[in-house]
């Protein structure tokens, strides 16, 4: 895979007052130090993974294709092969997201204005390094690493290039981390593979702390910001959600999955016909779980980052009542 440049809008800050000033962040840093684990030795890597016990690893909304005939009608060996490849595609998105988180958090160390924020963010960099390590190692047990999907890449890029640390914090710690938390929770519940249960269980424990960091820090920071800066942050959060919900972007996301369908011998015309039929049924669409509505919107609401200025846009996207 190629190496890509990122143009950052970053301005690092020194902080020469080393006394604790945001107690909740200092406390979280203490928790982070206590809960460190070793990706190489704290997971039972010696256990074998039987792909049949892994189950379907889907995104934070669960598996939207679980009741589709073109999958149910496949012979067992093909269905297992499909499941393995789809799972690796999903896990690859997590892996790339972890790399994005590691880099974004490295930036937070430089740009946040408080020593407690810098100390805590430093602990998160090693957390994310562990996550990169475990997901890469696990994916190789099943299949291979697949490329990053466009809308995830665009979101991570926007976070890395953001010109305000508060945007990095909301984009990564609140939006991306909440989705990651939801995904790992579902994966742990949905798999019978002990190694994957350990991987996502330990990772989710870290991610919960990462979401807390975002919420604690932004709650502290928002009242100090000017109205103009708060509006800019609110617009950034909305733009991120629009990016992730863009129907064209989501259709593009399906392209690599179609490639996988073809590789395991699915008749693409049959698959397309069933997908079009089900996804054009408003009842089916309305019953699909919505991870953004479930995991992200409540956090943005909690921070007051959805106001009358943006509420209608969220309603239009079906993310708010």
Of 211, 102, 230, 104, whose CA–CA distance to 162 is shortest?
104
Residue 45: C-alpha distances to residues 141, 166, 192 (Å): 10, 38, 15
Q: How far is the CB of 88 from Fe ion (least distance, A)?
A: 18
Check if the beta carbon of residue 52 is closer than 8 Å to that of residue 82.
no
Question: Cα–Cα distance between 152 and 176 in angstroms, integer?
Answer: 9
Q: How far is the CB of 207 from Fe ion (least distance, A)?
A: 5
Check if the beta carbon of residue 241 is closer than 8 Å to that of residue 165.
no
CB atoms within 10 A of CB 293: 16
- CA end-to-end distance (rounded Å), the chain: 42
Stretch that binds Fe ion, among 158-166, 200-208, 255-263, 264-272 (CB under 5 A): 200-208
Q: How far is the CB of 195 from Fe ion (least distance, A)?
A: 18
Q: Give the residue with the Cβ less far from Fe ion, 102 or 260.
A: 102
Q: How far is the CB of 80 from Fe ion (least distance, A)?
A: 28
- State which of positions 9-38 bind Fe ion (CB under 5 A): none
Question: Cα–Cα distance between 318 and 321 in angstroms, integer?
Answer: 7
DSSP letter (8 states) at residue 294: I
The one among 131, 167, 168, 209 contacting Fe ion by CB under 5 A: 131
Q: Give the residue with the Cβ less far from Fe ion, 215 or 264.
A: 215
Stretch that binds Fe ion, among 96-104, 194-202, 213-221, 234-242 (CB under 5 A): 96-104
The DSSP result for 200-248, as a single string, is HHHHHHHHHHHHHHHHHHHHHHGGGS-HHHHHHHHHHHHHHHHHHH-HH
The one among 101, 108, 156, 204 contacting Fe ion by CB under 5 A: 101
Q: Is 209 in the site for Fe ion (CB under 5 A)?
A: no
Using CB under 5 A as the criterion, what x/- string covers residues 157-196 for binding Fe ion? --------------------x-------------------
The token pair at 88 is 């690796």
The one among 84, 168, 209, 210 contacting Fe ion by CB under 5 A: 210
Q: Give the residue with the Cβ less far from Fe ion, 207 or 234.
A: 207
Using CB under 5 A as the criterion, what x/- string covers residues 237-276 for binding Fe ion? ----------------------------------------
Q: How far is the CB of 128 from Fe ion (least distance, A)?
A: 5
Q: How far is the CB of 52 from Fe ion (least distance, A)?
A: 27
Stretch that binds Fe ion, among 109-117, 205-213, 252-260, 278-286 (CB under 5 A): 205-213
Contacts of 168 (CB under 8 A, 6+ apart): 104, 107, 108, 111, 159, 160, 162
The DSSP result for 26-41, as a single string, is HHHHHHHHHT---TTT
Q: Give the residue with the Cβ less far from Fe ion, 176 or 305.
A: 176
Question: Cα–Cα distance between 312 and 121 in angstroms, integer?
Answer: 34
Taking only Cα atoms into account, the Rg of the chain, rounded to an integer number of angstroms, comes to 20
Stretch that binds Fe ion, among 2-10, 84-92, 98-106, 228-236 (CB under 5 A): 98-106
Q: Summarize as ranges the residues that interact with Fe ion (CB under 5 A).
A: 98, 101, 128, 131, 177, 207, 210
């Amino acid at each position: 895979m190629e190496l890509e440049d990122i143009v950052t809008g970053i301005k690092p800050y020194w902080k020469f007052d080393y006394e604790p000033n945001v107690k909740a962040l200092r406390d979280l840093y203490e928790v982070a130090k206590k809960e460190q684990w070793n990706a190489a030795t704290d997971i039972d890597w010696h256990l074998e993974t039987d792909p049949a016990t892994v189950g379907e690893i889907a995104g934070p909304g669960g598996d939207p294709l679980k009741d589709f005939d073109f999958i149910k009608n496949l012979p067992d060996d093909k269905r297992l092969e499909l499941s393995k490849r789809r799972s690796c595609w999903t896990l690859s998105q997590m892996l790339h997201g972890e790399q994005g988180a590691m880099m974004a958090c490295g930036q937070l160390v430089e740009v946040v204005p408080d020593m407690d924020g810098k100390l805590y963010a430093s602990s998160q960099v090693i957390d994310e390094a562990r996550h990169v390590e475990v997901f890469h190692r696990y994916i190789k047990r099943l299949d291979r690493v697949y490329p990053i999907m466009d809308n995830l890449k665009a979101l991570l890029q926007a976070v890395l290039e953001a010109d305000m640390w508060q945007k990095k914090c909301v984009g990564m710690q609140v939006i991306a981390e909440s989705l990651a938390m939801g995904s790992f929770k579902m994966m742990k519940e949905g798999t019978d593979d002990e190694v994957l249960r350990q991987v996502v269980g330990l990772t989710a424990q870290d991610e919960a702390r990462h979401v807390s960091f975002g919420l604690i820090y932004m709650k502290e920071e928002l009242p100090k910001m000017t109205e103009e800066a708060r509006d800019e942050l609110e617009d950034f959060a909305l733009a991120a959600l629009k990016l992730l919900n863009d129907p064209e972007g989501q259709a593009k996301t399906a392209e690599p999955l179609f490639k996988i369908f073809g590789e395991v011998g699915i008749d693409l015309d049959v698959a397309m016909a069933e997908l079009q039929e089900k996804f054009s049924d408003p009842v089916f669409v309305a019953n699909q779980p919505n991870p953004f509505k479930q995991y992200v919107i409540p956090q943005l609401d909690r921070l007051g980052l959805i106001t009358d200025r943006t509420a209608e846009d969220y309603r239009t996207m079906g993310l708010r009542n």
